[in-house]
Amino acid sequence: MQHSTGPYDRIPTREPAALAVSRAWVALAALAVLSVSSASAANMVYFFADNGFGNPVSTLQHPCAEHHNGVTYIAYQGPLEDAYICAYNHQSGEWQGPVKAGDSLMGKQQPARIPGDIDNHGRPALMVDCEGYIHIVFGGHGGYPKFGRNEFGMWGDGRQTHVVSRHPEDISDWERRDNVSPFGTYSQFVHMDDGDIYLFYRHGSHQSDWVYQKSRDNGRTFHPPVSILKHKVREEDSNLHDAWYAWFDKGSGDTITASYVYHPCKTRGHDNARHNGYYMLMDCADDTWHNVRGRELAAPVTKESADKYTLVSNTGDMRSKRGTCRVDANGHPHVTFKQGGYVRYYRWLGNEWQQAVCVTPEPGTGECDLHVESPRAVWLVLARKAAGTGEICWWKTTDGGLTWNKDRCLLNKPGPGFRIGALVRNAHPDARVVASRQMQHHGGLYSELYLLGRNGPIRRRGREAAVLARHLAGLFGTTVTGNLGHD
Ligand code: ZN
């Protein structure tokens, strides 16, 4: 009988046959020898850092973590909305960080007092290039007017910022590269097999196009932005603007998938309406876009064209938020949208979209992502709150998404719910998901961070993971008293 350990069996991992040990790991290993004798199970904790700020990770800005050469690198939003990184070495079991990788222009003018003061749009996306350099793009929410004319939309806040590690496989030192548009937000990396890097983002605030910039030299230079989803005023109502929320990933072979929802953006009486679900595909041989049936689309795609050629789901007045999209071995997309209070799953059958199926029996959505094992066997990791308990669990279908059952849980705790990032890129089986959980103290501004895999959370020495008190004392000169809320 075949025994499954969850969505870990067939995930390609590049095990470190000969681990390239960077300077920083050598230094850390020396420290580890001194401390290993004092380490015991009693002072290990389940989180790896506690200085997550606001909503430090999301499936939107992605990937936030990547496994490369035996090490999982994790980026997240830390104090003052700056970009932070930690690294876990799967061979030695040692952690590094948090290290600040770059400064955001946001989060500084008004030190946040409540979670609602925190912008969160500039959460970091991370990738490791073919030479081992680590890239993080973060800090954008449309860009300030001082950066000049935005040819693809409206200004907003912050500056999309690209930083790169000064040395391969080393998180200790970073440099900024001014080679991407400052107007970007919701930054997303797609790294192709041939080394090409595509950086996708919305080029400004709501009333802006979605674009990508392409790099063929490991992120040293990027081509100018190319528009793919068009924002424009509606002909029949000048108060209404076509706007979008989109999610990109590598598809089958040399393709990139896009799944997205429509935002009717009102200039007066603005609300957060989102509708429908859409899907399209880029052929990276010539960077042309196609619908699921293979019809080439004129780019940038307009609302009219999207409705006609790329619609997965017409939700009418029902609210629809983007989920994620992964492809199977046939290249067929499996897509989720959060619609009407449920995570709804769709699959392309080759000639039509399968009818929507609600993954959970009761309403309640959270962040989720898909791992497609085969066209009929699909895993969905879902962070949600059920009966007062926050949980991160795998849900599984073996009949192509017609029925779903809750499988193993990676983490659950009474109290606040968890948030998760998109699945770790090229993941090690022990480290598939990055999660955060808001802590009670400091007005709920800060979060613990977790790295989860087949054995649940990867633990860390408490004195290494609980950095927030020292960190805040260094930033603000304040002394943190009382219970920090770890449990
Ligand atoms: Zn809007």
pLDDT digits (tens, 9 = 90+) for 244-300: 999 999 999 999 999 999 999 999 999 999 999 999 999 999 999 999 999 999 999
On whether the CB atoms of residues 308 and 292 are closer than 8 A, the answer is no
Cα separation of 348 and 51, whole Å? 41
Cα separation of 196 and 283, whole Å? 13
Maximum separation of any 2 CA atoms in the chain, in Å: 72
Give the pLDDT of residue 442. 85
Q: What is the DSSP letter of 1?
A: -
DSSP E strands, 194-274: 197-203, 210-215, 226-229, 232-234, 237-250, 255-266
CA of 141 to the centre of ligand 1 (A): 13
Does residue 121 have an active-site annotation? yes
Cα separation of 191 and 171, whole Å? 20
Cα angle 355-361-367, degrees, rounded to a multiple of 5:
80
Q: How confident is the model at residue 485 (pLDDT cuts 50, 70, 90)?
A: low
What tens digit of pLDDT does each residue of 89-101 get? 999 999 999 999 9
Average pLDDT, the chain: 91
pLDDT above 80 for 470: yes
Cα separation of 40 and 270, whole Å? 54
CA of 409 to the centre of ligand 1 (A): 36
On whether the CB atoms of residues 357 and 345 are closer than 8 A, the answer is yes
Catalytic residue among 68, 90, 121, 471: 121
SS3 272: coil
Give the pLDDT of residue 487. 56
The alpha carbon of residue 30 and the mean position of all alpha carbons in its chain are separated, in whole angstroms, by: 33
417: Cβ–Cβ under 8 A, 6 or more apart, which residues?
366, 383, 384, 385, 390, 437
CA of 274 to the centre of ligand 1 (A): 9
pLDDT above 80 for 4: no
Cα separation of 341 and 323, whole Å? 13
Give the pLDDT of residue 484. 55
Cα separation of 227 and 210, whole Å? 6
Q: How confident is the model at residue 486 (pLDDT cuts 50, 70, 90)?
A: low
On whether the CB atoms of residues 375 and 398 are closer than 8 A, the answer is no
Catalytic residue among 8, 186, 201, 309: 186
Q: What tokens does 2 get?
A: 């075949």
Q: What tokens does 99 get?
A: 């290290």
CA of 20 to the centre of ligand 1 (A): 47
CA of 275 to the centre of ligand 1 (A): 12
Q: What tokens does 178 get?
A: 């001014």
pLDDT above 50 for 10: no
On whether the CB atoms of residues 124 and 61 are closer than 8 A, the answer is yes
Q: How confident is the model at residue 42 (pLDDT cuts 50, 70, 90)?
A: low
Give the pLDDT of residue 8. 64
Give one DSSP letter per residue of 331-387, joined into a string.
--EEEEEEETTEEEEEEB-SSSBPPPEESSSS-----EEEEESSSS-EEEEEEEEET
Give the pLDDT of residue 135. 98
CA of 240 to the centre of ligand 1 (A): 9
Q: How confident is the model at residue 29 (pLDDT cuts 50, 70, 90)?
A: very low
Cis peptide before 63 (omega within 30 of 0): yes
Cis peptide before 300 (omega within 30 of 0): yes
Give percent of the chain with pLDDT exceeding 90. Answer: 83
Q: How confident is the model at residue 482 (pLDDT cuts 50, 70, 90)?
A: very low
What tens digit of pLDDT does each residue of 274-288 get? 999 999 999 999 999
Give percent of the chain with pLDDT exceeding 70. Answer: 89
Give the pLDDT of residue 233. 97
pTM value > 0.95: no
CA of 263 to the centre of ligand 1 (A): 7
Give the pLDDT of residue 40. 56
pLDDT above 70 for 19: no
Cα separation of 469 and 474, whole Å? 9
Q: How confident is the model at residue 213 (pLDDT cuts 50, 70, 90)?
A: very high
CA of 384 to the centre of ligand 1 (A): 26
CA of 270 to the centre of ligand 1 (A): 6
pLDDT above 90 for 474: no
Q: How confident is the model at residue 186 (pLDDT cuts 50, 70, 90)?
A: very high
Q: How many CA atoms lie within 13 A of 294 on its CB side?
A: 3
Q: How confident is the model at residue 480 (pLDDT cuts 50, 70, 90)?
A: low
Choose among 343, 341, 323: nearest CA to 333. Answer: 323
What tens digit of pLDDT does each residue of 126-147 get? 999 999 999 999 999 999 999 9
CA of 238 to the centre of ligand 1 (A): 14
Q: How confident is the model at residue 6 (pLDDT cuts 50, 70, 90)?
A: low
In single-letter form, the type of residue at position 170 comes to: D
Q: What is the DSSP letter of 468?
A: H
- Taking residues 453-478, what's their average pLDDT? 91
The alpha carbon of residue 400 and the mean position of all alpha carbons in its chain are separated, in whole angstroms, by: 25
CA of 229 to the centre of ligand 1 (A): 15
CA of 261 to the centre of ligand 1 (A): 13
Does residue 278 have an active-site annotation? no
SS3 258: strand
- Taking residues 209-235, what's their average pLDDT? 98
- Taking residues 421-426, what's their average pLDDT? 98
